[in-house]
Copies of this chain bind each other. A is one copy, B any other.
């Protein structure tokens, strides 16, 4: 009887091992990068909508509480600071404002749109490092014609807080302004 009991225990132990080998690591290896990347891509896209539609609260909420926005030299830390930083240039030169009165053709507000492409992501547990391109086009002209007008790249650090990915630091490089251009070396891996 003892032998049989021993056999049962050994079997149960062996099956435990099999299940953990079959299930747990497989789940982590197979599902994890994709899941984190999918959530980060969604964050990156929501950031753009919030920026272009001047939804400042949503924009600020894509950063961690102590997140940093860095436009090469200019830095803002924390959601309130970031919100103010983004608010200011828009107040000075609001995109989406009514066209001037002398402009008879275009009676609807101009818009501007930031796009993200080429997202490279290295994910390590609850931390991620990102690189990506951005470019901007708009129609702030009397014909409401689509015009590409600037581009650059992002260097991002992200963290998962309570299951949600957020920017802990975003550096924005811009190839249209001498002071804001990025490194000449590949910022990726």
| Number of this chain's copies in the complex | 3
Which chain A residues in 26-43 approach chain B with CB under 8 Å? 26-28, 30-35, 37-39, 41-42
CB distance from A30 to the nearest CB of B (A): 4
Roughly how many angstroms separate A39 CA and B123 CA in the complex, as a whole number?
12
> Looking across the interface, which residue of chain B has its beta carbon closest to that of A20?
B22
Residue A144 at the chain B interface, CB threshold 8 Å: yes
Roughly how many angstroms separate A139 CA and B181 CA in the complex, as a whole number?
12
Residue A4 at the chain B interface, CB threshold 8 Å: yes
Roughly how many angstroms separate A115 CA and B119 CA in the complex, as a whole number?
10
- Which among B11, B22, B113, B135 is the interface contact of A146 at CB below 8 angstroms? B135
CB distance from A31 to the nearest CB of B (A): 4
> Assuming the A-B contacts A116-B118, A149-B146, are A186 and B58 also in contact, with contact meaning beta carbons closer than 8 angstroms in the complex?
yes
Residue A107 at the chain B interface, CB threshold 8 Å: yes
Are B45's CB and A118's CB within 8 A?
Answer: yes
Name A's B-contacting residues (CB within 8 A).
Answer: 1, 4-5, 8, 11-12, 15-16, 18-20, 22-24, 26-28, 30-35, 37-39, 41-42, 44-46, 48-50, 53-55, 58, 96, 106-109, 111, 113, 115-121, 131-133, 135, 137, 139, 144-151, 175-176, 178, 181, 184-189
